[in-house]
Each structure stands twice: as structure tokens, then as C-alpha cells.
């Protein structure tokens, strides 16, 4: 299933996309795509519904973030072998883990703001993993059982803040609008192999990133298990799993976002995003 949230910021309602591309309202079925609504039992009940029995939503509605109530937004750094090579970094001996502020989360088509005093705002297409069940000390073999589904993420980064401002990566990762997620949460039953997905990103029509989750150093199951050894994962938590090569920092010379740019990105089976870059 392709589940989503639609409506004005702060007033989103849950919905699903039917086979004809029509949004169907899940209002009254679940309160939101959050908490226990993301559990396996809840998703099975939604899957059993006849979509034509649900109210159709008028076309042109805004897509909000595809999950609500995320307590944690976790990110994995240098998790693609070809991206590590692009940046001149060594492949890490275990996953590099950092957090992004949940206040950075926006919808897939919302504007991206360049922060004040920013000179190096960059893009990163990433596969997002959305947790559906509480996970603590889970094994790699059982890890995917705790996943509700997957989504597209643009893990925007301000490289000056991230690298040159005497702090951890979170300074350059948690700015407002730096985490567009969606447009859909695609349930894991529909996406049977998260390690075989093509992914791409363009700025103003120029293709910068053209990669695949096949080149991940650490796969989704390993990452869910790994993170759960350090902290409990809860329904709605998001793990952004790293980016393939082609980021602005890796261009020669580097290329960074400017107001007026249009970013387009997508992952096979998960849909596409588009953002207008504006001054913050």
C-alpha cells in the first residue's frame, strides 16, 4: 500500500493512494499515520479495506510528511561505498550514526529554505525506513519485522555548518525544511527488496545523483538491528540510510543550492519529490 498524509501544514489527515492514483481518505479509520496505526496489525486491517468504499479526496491537495509523531530522525553517514569514495572518506568499520531534528520534517513538495548565513546547502537522495513496532535489541534476521514501510527522503545538508563550524554533523543537518519525506509510506509487503532500488536526484533538470541501494555498505536489516542495540526504536521513528554519489560537495568544483533552484528526486517504487529552493 501507498499511505500518505494530506492537507495544510498541521492539519494533515491520513489517506491511501488507490490503484487508479486517487487519494482515499482514511479519516475515521485511523487517527493519523502515527503510533499504533503503523503496527503490522493496523496495516493489515487497512489493507483489507475496499479502497472504493473510502471517500475520494479532491485532486491537487498538498502532500504532508508521510508519517506523524516521529520521536527520532536517525541518519547513517557514509553508507554508500561509491559516495565514500567521492568524498575521499574511508568506508566506516561500523555505521556512522547521527540525528536530524524532527522540526526539519516537511512534505515532499514543500519549499526548502536555505538557512541564513548559508553558503553550502547541499542535497542527498536517501531511502527512508519508517519503524512500525517498538524495537529493542532485535537481531538482523528479525529486524524487518519491525519496519512499517519505506519512503523517499531528501537529507539536505549545510556543509559549512556540518564540517567547518566546530561541532557535530547535526548543526548542518537539522535546519528547518531539511527533511522532506514522502510523498508516500510504501508498506514493506509492497517493497520486498530494499537493497535493489534505483535512486536519482536532479537540480534544475541536471541529473547529479544516479545510484542504487545495491551499493549500500550496511543494509536496512543490519541498520535497524544496529540502532536498536543503542536505543529503543518506536513507531514513527525514521532512519535515513545514506546517499549515493553525486552530492554538490563532490562536484568539481562543488555546486550548492541557490534560491530559485528546483530539486527533483525519486526512488523506484516509492514515488518522487520536488522542492523549490527559497531563502530562509
Is pLDDT above 80 for 216? yes
pTM metric for this prediction: 0.96
| Residue 223: closest CA among 185, 194, 191, 199 | 194
pLDDT tens figures, 77-97: 889 987 777 777 788 899 999
The whole-number average pLDDT for the span 51-70 is 97
Domains of the chain, residue spans: 67-279
What pLDDT is attached to residue 86? 76
Q: Determine contact, residues 239/219, Cβ cutoff 8 Å.
A: no
Cα separation of 258 and 163, whole Å?
19
Please give the backbone phi and psi of residue 212, each rounded to the nearest 5 degrees, phi first: -155, 145
The CATH code of the domain at 67-279 is: 3.90.850.10
pLDDT mean across residues, the chain? 95
- Which CA distances in Å does 213 have to 190, 210, 280? 17, 11, 32
The whole-number average pLDDT for the span 61-77 is 97
Cα separation of 155 and 202, whole Å?
14
Query: In DSSP terms, which residues pair with 52 in a beta bridge?
Result: none
| Residue 121: closest CA among 80, 86, 152, 163 | 163
For 170, the enclosing helix (H) or strand (E) is helix 170-173
Amino acid at each position: 500500500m501507498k499511505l500518505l498524509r494530506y492537507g495544510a501544514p498541521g492539519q494533515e489527515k491520513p489517506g491511501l493512494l488507490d490503484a487508479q492514483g486517487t487519494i482515499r481518505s482514511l479519516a475515521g479509520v485511523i487517527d493519523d499515520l502515527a503510533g499504533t496505526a503503523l503496527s503490522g496489525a493496523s496495516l493489515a486491517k487497512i489493507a483489507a479495506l475496499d479502497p472504493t468504499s473510502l471517500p475520494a479526496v479532491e485532486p491537487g491537495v498538498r502532500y504532508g510528511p508521510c508519517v506523524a509523531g516521529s520521536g527520532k530522525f536517525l541518519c547513517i553517514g557514509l553508507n554508500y561505498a561509491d559516495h565514500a569514495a567521492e568524498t575521499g572518506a574511508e568506508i566506516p568499520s561500523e555505521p556512522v550514526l547521527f540525528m536530524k531534528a524532527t522540526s526539519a520534517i516537511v512534505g515532499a513538495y514543500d519549499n526548502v529554505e536555505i538557512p541564513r548565513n548559508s553558503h553550502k546547502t547541499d542535497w542527498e537522495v536517501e531511502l527512508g525506513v519508517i519503524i512500525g513496532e517498538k524495537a529493542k535489541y532485535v537481531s538482523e534476521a528479525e529486524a524487518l519485522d519491525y519496519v512499517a514501510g519505506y519512503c523517499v527522503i531528501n537529507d539536505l545538508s549545510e556543509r559549512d555548518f556540518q564540517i567547518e563550524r566546530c561541532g557535530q554533523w547535526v548543526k548542518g543537518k537539522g535546519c528547518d525544511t531539511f527533511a522532506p519525506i514522502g510523498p508516500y509510506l510504501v508498506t514493506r509487503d509492497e517493497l520486498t527488496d530494499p537493497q535493489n532500488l534505483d535512486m536519482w536526484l536532479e537540480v534544475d533538470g541536471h541529473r547529479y545523483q544516479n545510484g542504487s541501494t545495491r551499493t549500500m555498505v550496511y543494509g536496512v536489516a543490519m541498520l535497524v538491528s544496529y540502532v536498536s542495540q543503542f536505543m529503543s526504536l518506536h513507531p514513527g521513528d525514521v532512519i535515513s540510510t545514506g546517499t549515493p554519489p553525486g552530492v554538490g560537495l563532490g562536484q568539481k568544483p562543488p555546486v550548492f543550492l541557490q534560491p530559485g533552484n528546483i530539486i527533483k528526486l525519486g526512488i523506484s517504487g516509492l514515488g518522487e519529490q520536488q522542492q523549490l529552493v527559497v531563502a530562509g
